[in-house]
């Protein structure tokens, strides 16, 4: 009995010693964790501060100046914003209208077409589904400038499209020199370029569906239309919401397509906000006004994104 008590006491002492060592190591580890975390985060945070935060603050400061690219700066306060919003710059509201029309049309068409194609791909054999997904995604990873220049050659007055129309007796169409057709051409080219991304994302969402729910809906007599809108769409609504957010943001930032395809023309009919601020900053030598345009665009996109998040509870279902 005595030996057992002594052994028990030694074990308890070792246990207490071990626990004390663990506590001491934990306390010392906790004291060192902030410094170690700061070291690990420093490279990424340094890049974030240098290339995101500093330019963001600098652009806000520059927007309050009349700033020439190669000259001096004159503080003008809110004059850039007043000029923009009061109509002193008549091109601003035309450009804003073009951007909103393009963004809304592109987002709607992109989501509808990509969702339809994704649903169609789900019903194909695996080989063809994967192959077509790659085909649809190829334009996304090809250079935008090259694609736009090819489309410009196709849609020019003496281009391949008009040559094909002429072969069947149709008069040539001025695709890039008619206001409405120029916007339509811009939308078609942008859809061809950007559909693949949403197709891949939506296909991933469809692959995660619970097949037993679809089988139960079929057994209950639901037709294809009812299965899609009553079962499939609610289950993939978080994925559709993500695609909507990203597509709207990308549509408002459109630049390369109008720059290379239509050059903003004819007139100002396909000029967009990013193209307009680029020209003000680097062609018209108005860095201050360009910065104010960028901040107006930022506020518009931020408000639209906040609006979408505020409405998501009405149609996005996270319980599927």
Burial of 280 (0-12, 13-18, 19+ CB in 10 A): buried
pLDDT at residue 57, rounded to an integer: 93
Does residue 106 have a pLDDT over 90? yes
Reported as a single tens digit per residue, the pLDDT across 209-257 is 877 887 888 888 888 788 888 888 989 999 999 999 999 999 999 999 9
The per-residue pLDDT of the chain, averaged, comes to: 87
Reported as a single tens digit per residue, the pLDDT across 47-96 is 999 999 999 999 999 999 998 877 788 899 999 999 999 989 989 999 99
What's the rounded Cα separation, in Å, for the pair 256 and 258? Answer: 6
Of 16-30, 139-153, 239-253, the one with minimum mean pLDDT is: 16-30
> Which whole number is the average pLDDT over 147-164?
91
Tell me the percentage of the chain whose pLDDT exceeds 90.
59
Confidence of residue 3 (pLDDT cuts 50, 70, 90): very low
Please name which of 205, 201, 226, 195 lies closest in space to residue 317, comparing C-alpha atoms: 205
Contacts of 157 (CB under 8 A, 6+ apart): 172, 174, 177
Residue 40, classed as helix, strand or coil, is helix
**CATH number of this structure's domain 87-313:** 1.10.3720.10
What's the rounded Cα separation, in Å, for the pair 38 and 45? Answer: 9
Does residue 137 have a pLDDT over 70? yes
> Which whole number is the average pLDDT over 101-130?
93
Length of the chain in terms of residues written: 320
Does residue 188 have a pLDDT over 70? yes
What's the rounded Cα separation, in Å, for the pair 276 and 238? Answer: 34
Q: Please state the domain extents for the chain.
A: 87-313
This prediction's pTM: 0.84
Q: Are 304 and 100 in contact (CB under 8 A)?
A: no
Please name which of 94, 66, 60, 95 lies closest in space to residue 79, comparing C-alpha atoms: 66
What's the rounded Cα separation, in Å, for the pair 292 and 207? Answer: 44
pLDDT at residue 2, rounded to an integer: 47
Burial of 240 (0-12, 13-18, 19+ CB in 10 A): buried
Please name which of 194, 307, 207, 212 lies closest in space to residue 256, comparing C-alpha atoms: 194
């Amino acid at each position: 009995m005595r030996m057992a008590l002594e052994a028990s006491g030694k074990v308890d002492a070792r246990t207490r010693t071990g626990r004390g060592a663990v506590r001491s190591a934990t306390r010392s580890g906790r004291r060192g964790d902030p410094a170690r975390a700061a070291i690990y985060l420093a490279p990424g945070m340094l890049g974030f501060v240098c290339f995101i935060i500093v330019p963001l603050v600098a652009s806000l400061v520059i927007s309050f100046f009349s700033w020439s690219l190669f000259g001096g700066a004159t503080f003008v306060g809110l004059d850039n914003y007043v000029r923009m919003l009061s109509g002193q710059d008549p091109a601003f509201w035309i450009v804003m209208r073009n951007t909103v029309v393009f963004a809304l049309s592109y987002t709607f068409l992109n989501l509808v077409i990509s969702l339809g194609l994704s649903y169609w791909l789900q019903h194909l054999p695996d080989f063809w589904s994967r192959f077509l997904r790659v085909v649809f995604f190829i334009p996304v990873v090809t250079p935008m400038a090259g694609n736009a220049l090819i489309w410009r050659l196709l849609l020019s007055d003496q281009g391949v499209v008009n040559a094909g129309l002429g072969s069947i007796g149709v008069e040539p169409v001025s695709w890039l020199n008619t206001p409405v057709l120029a916007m339509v051409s811009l939308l078609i080219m942008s859809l061809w370029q950007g559909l693949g991304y949403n197709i891949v994302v939506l296909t991933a969402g469809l692959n995660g569906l619970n097949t037993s729910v679809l089988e139960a809906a079929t057994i209950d007599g639901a037709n294809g239309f009812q299965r899609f809108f009553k079962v499939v769409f609610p289950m993939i609504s978080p994925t559709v919401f993500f695609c909507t957010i990203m597509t709207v943001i990308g549509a408002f930032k459109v630049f390369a397509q109008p720059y290379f395809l239509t050059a903003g023309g004819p007139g100002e009919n396909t000029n967009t906000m990013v193209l307009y601020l680029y020209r003000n900053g680097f062609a018209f030598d108005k860095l201050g006004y360009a910065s104010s345009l960028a901040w107006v665009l930022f506020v518009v996109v931020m408000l639209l994104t906040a609006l979408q998040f505020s409405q998501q509870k009405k149609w996005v279902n996270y319980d599927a």
